Chains A and B, each alone.
Chain A
Amino acid sequence: MTPTMRTEAVTKVLVANRGEIALRIVRTLRELGLESVAVYSEADAGAPYVALATQAVCVGPPAVSESYLNIDTILAAALQTGADAVHPGYGLLSENPVFAEAVVKAGMTWIGPPTDAMNTMASKTHARAAMTKAGVPVVPGGPVEEANSIGFPMLVKASAGGGGKGMRRVNSADELPDALAACRREAAKAFGDDTVYLERFIERPRHVEIQVLADAHGTVVHLFERECSVQRRHQKVVEESPSVAVSDSLRAQMGDTAVAAAQSVGYVGAGTVEFLVDSEGEFYFLEMNTRLQVEHPVTEMVVGLDLVAEQIRIAQGEKLGYVQGDLRQRGHAIECRIYAEDPVSFLPQTGVIQALIVPEGPGIRHDSGICSGWEVGVHYDPLLAKLCAWGPTRSMAIARLRRALDDYIVVGVQTNLDLLRHVIDHPEFAAGDTTTAFLEEYPYERPPVPDVVFIARALMDVVESEPKGDATHTDHQADAHSPWKRLRGWRL
């Protein structure tokens, strides 16, 4: 049962998240003149979002299970600081109905959908049943017992899953037991629920999702599509809006279906209905994410709405104030996810970011949770930042993004920037021919290291081995044989 939602004006919001999304939410709260409360683990004490919130409360040690997933501690922080609303961000507790209910029971506003809708969508198996009932097409699949009738290749998925965690591709029956065991284990760890189910694997599909907004007064609109086909390990890397593959009629059809899906579960708030689109243009419901999505900025750039501000307005009981016909897609936006990971093996990387230079310029948006001196540790998702570019056309957005990727400097931690440059440079990407198999079909290969890199490395060694005092000399004071003299233009 859903407790009655508070519909009073929000004044102080606890952000139950970390990293780039916590900072992104804090920014909107500041723009709206609202107070913010950050929660942080001991590992995140020095994070930018902590410094920029009105108040901050430490909620425990670095492990998420002892900090960001600890409902009691986070609620206590909200009550102690007098917060009257909670924004959960994405991941962590954002799709946890128990947390949502606890927030409402404690007399605060939950900036998210009603718990009934969350409950339905939280279980992928329940969601599939509900969508089938609502006439929304779903990918053929079912429980593990039906493996034989679904056919190979198939995907093993965590019922409580998301973000590709726990998901395994299985090509034949003998691979199934290992995949089931691994998926159950990862699901139990990540979501506290080891229920898994099977789904037909659709070859070379596109991943296209529809952003929806629903107010508490029965108005539901969609904010068009995001194409998120370029993925690695079933996790998105590059997202854009609009999708090259979506015609006006397909857009209208998918939009209407997404609105119907939201209405069928009594949805209120911002949500995303994810679809697979096959090569014939047929689309199938994948799942509904009952929260803000990582890639929401591309929609904001194209539609011109601040989704966090809209979430807050909806949570306060306000009407949307616009209808579908008022909404337009303007230009084109593309997002790149910058991860601390090896661009070839995709293995997460750790270390201290020793220098960070972020691109600027027309149409560029950068959402990050990092700064120079930041230590990328093992406890959290390796997402460092999101770099977005907007342009009046897709090719201008690509040109801006490509230029911005070249200007993005991270020293000290390996990132996937080279992989992103490879994707954005690829003729198939330029042609809009992106499927979820993109990186398998066009893998990034490490290019040979140009000699200039070894020259730079060796000269830096030489320069660094010079006695420190020399650096403070001006040119005419320095020893004529000192290499520092050759650092022409040296300014101190």
Chain B
Amino acid sequence: MAPAMSTVSDARVGWRPPPRIANAWTRRALWIGAAAYAIVAAVTLDVDAARVAEGLTRAGSFFGGWLRPDFVTRWGDIRTGILESLAMAAVATVAGVLIAVPLGLAAARNLAAAPVYAAARGVLAVSRAFHEIIVAIFFVAMFGFGPFAGVVTLVVGSVGFLGKLLAEAVEEIDPAPLDALATAGATWASRVAFGVLPQVMPRVLGLALYRLDINFRESAVIGLVGAGGIGATLTTAFARYEFESVSAILILIISMVFAAEVISGRLRKALL
């Protein structure tokens, strides 16, 4: 009966799975390091308690305005802004796809020659490096205020996003059709047209729909620096302290993004 006793003592109630990091000291050092960092970072926050208290008393009027969204007073401006944002998103997505497809093909290791690959990857990396707002500041300086600068900004973002994901999709395709086409003596162009594009087009369409959604959301932001769209309307409403209109605009953006998500989910399911 002695072995049974030891089995009982082994099957303790508080069993725990083995830890992911085997060394106990590494584990402790990680926890201590994280805690120390959190303290250091929290100290640099430098919270001005008086200012926060003052602001929170203002929160009443702010959230009061929030709860009474006013769609009517500025409806003309809001309507124009929303329509402009939609137009910017549509044009930027289509232009983005048109530029991203050749760039994405050039940035795929299995299709492009080494120097072409490096150059295309470089262009894609640069186009994604800066935040849309910074890009917009430059295009507004170059092209002047208005939706044109906004569209160019969104195109840059779309190209970086779609190009990178398309290149990754192309690198993962089934190579058999490509080999077959090459064996049959097909040119590079027909290899791409019949061996690559049919395999990646559903994914490109799905990504383009997703990017349309992102572009609409971004168009609400780049208006802050003068690049048109609903963001311009939003900034104006903020500057006038018309929190009722701000609330109305944000509610519209949120519900449109929600609707777009439902619709694009359905469309993607239908396409794939």
- Whether A associates with B in a native complex is no
